[in-house]
Structures are given as structure tokens and as C-alpha cells.
Amino acid sequence: MRELKSSVLTEAICFDMISSVRKMNADVAQQVERRLGKAEVGGSSPLISFWKMQDVKGLASFLFSFGWYRKKEVDFMLEMKHCMQCGAKLTSRYLEGEGDVPYCESCQDFRFPVFNTAVSMIVMNESKSKIILIKQYNKNRYILVAGYVNKGEDAEDTCVREVKEELGLDVTSVHFNHSHYFAGSNTLMLNFTVTVDGEMPTPNKEIDYWKWFTKEEAAQNIAPGSLAEEFLLGYLTGEYHFH
């Protein structure tokens, strides 16, 4: 009985999702269906393996993967219409290991989606007993020092440059911590922990306020719900909860 219910429910949900995508954009729906049919999960397609799962966890994971496919295809359709190099209309071509990738027939080259890269830093004193948090943009909340990576610049160098520019402090060590893609600004955010020489910043105009905190205080004061909070708590506890 439970199996029957689950199977009927799943079928209805899958059908509903595919028809809603089809309504949105016929091309996208076609690509999603093709991808779903092609993708392998445990030796069978996600649709088939999901029907075998018959549980809530399976439903959640299937919905997530479907959402990801749909978002990826929609992004492709909306953002990658023309070649960045020559302006020709892009088509898509299958690339081994990558799936369908935007392709320029004129340049005869793949055009991977473009995104920004930025760094954010957990800035600590030399003994790593304190963390500096800042306030910016007239907002009354503590965040981490951050900045965009320039073209041609290594991310580690961005860390050194940004800390010097914003706080006037010299970075003495840089360690990669964690990364997260932030869809809001189409940015891959790379988080580092850095140590600095000295504890007296000479901040530039971008900084409204700064303060050194103990690790516990920093965890309590960092802007709730921010990416900065995810990075800081993740670093301090070793657990990340990005979604």
C-alpha cells in the first residue's frame, strides 16, 4: 500500500514538474528531460532510482537535483546567448565529462559561463587569539573584509592587497579556508584565514568601523544569516551549512 501511494505521488510530482518547465520554455524542458534521461545515479536514471527509493529523503534529493538542472539550463538560456569574443549567437555542443556547453560556431570554441571571483577574509592577529570584524556601507552589522579578484591576480594576492588597502595592515600568512558560490551577485566567494602584523589598523574610507573580538565574541557578533557568518562559524566549528 505504501509503495503504491509513494509511486503514484512521485509520478504525479515528476509529471507536474516537467509540464511546468515545458510551459516556461520548450527548449529548456527538452534539455532537462534529455539530461534526466542521460544522467546516471547508481546505475539507473534518477527517475527510476527515485521510484525505487519511496521515501521523503529520496523526494528531497530528487527535487534538489531537478531544481539544479532546471536552474543550470535556465541560466544557460538566459545568460549565454552570444559569444563574448565575437558576438555570434551561441549554440550548445556536448563535451565529454561536461554535458552540453555553450558553443560558438564562428570561433569554433566552447564558451563556459562567466562569473565573478571574490575573496573574504577571517583576519586574525599574529597569535590567532583575536579576529577583526568591520562595518561598511552605513550598515550596523559586522562583516568580514572582502573584495573582488582582479583579472590576472592570484586570489592570495587579492587577500594581501585588500587587507592593506582597507585596514592598512600587512598580511603575514594566507590559508585557504572554504568557498561558496553566491548566486545573488554571480560570484564565487573564496574564504581565507589570514594573520596580520600589528593590531592597530589605519582604515580607508570604505571602513566605517572596526573592532577586534575574541573568537567567541566574533561568532556572536558577525552579521546573522550572512555569507560571512557561514564562513566564520564554519571555520570556528569545522561545520558548514551552505545551501
Q: Using CB under 5 A as the criterion, which residues of the chain lie in contact with Zn ion when the complex forms?
A: 83, 85-86, 88, 104, 106-107
Nearer to Zn ion, 110 or 210 (CB): 110
Are 163 and 140 a contacting pair, CB within 8 Å?
Answer: no
Which residue's Cβ has the minimum distance to Zn ion?
83
Nearer to Zn ion, 44 or 85 (CB): 85
Nearer to Zn ion, 9 or 88 (CB): 88
The runs of H, that is alpha helices, within the chain are 2-24, 26-38, 46-53, 56-79, 155-167, 215-221, 227-237
- Please, what is the minimum distance in Å from the beta carbon of residue 114 to Zn ion? 14
Please give the Cα distance from 189 to 175 (Å, whole number). Answer: 14
- Please, what is the minimum distance in Å from the beta carbon of residue 93 to Zn ion? 13
Please give the Cα distance from 180 to 140 (Å, whole number). Answer: 24
- Please, what is the minimum distance in Å from the beta carbon of residue 98 to Zn ion? 18
Please give the Cα distance from 8 to 41 (Å, whole number). Answer: 21
Nearer to Zn ion, 107 or 207 (CB): 107
- Please, what is the minimum distance in Å from the beta carbon of residue 86 to Zn ion? 3
Sign of CA dihedral 212, 217, 220, 226: positive
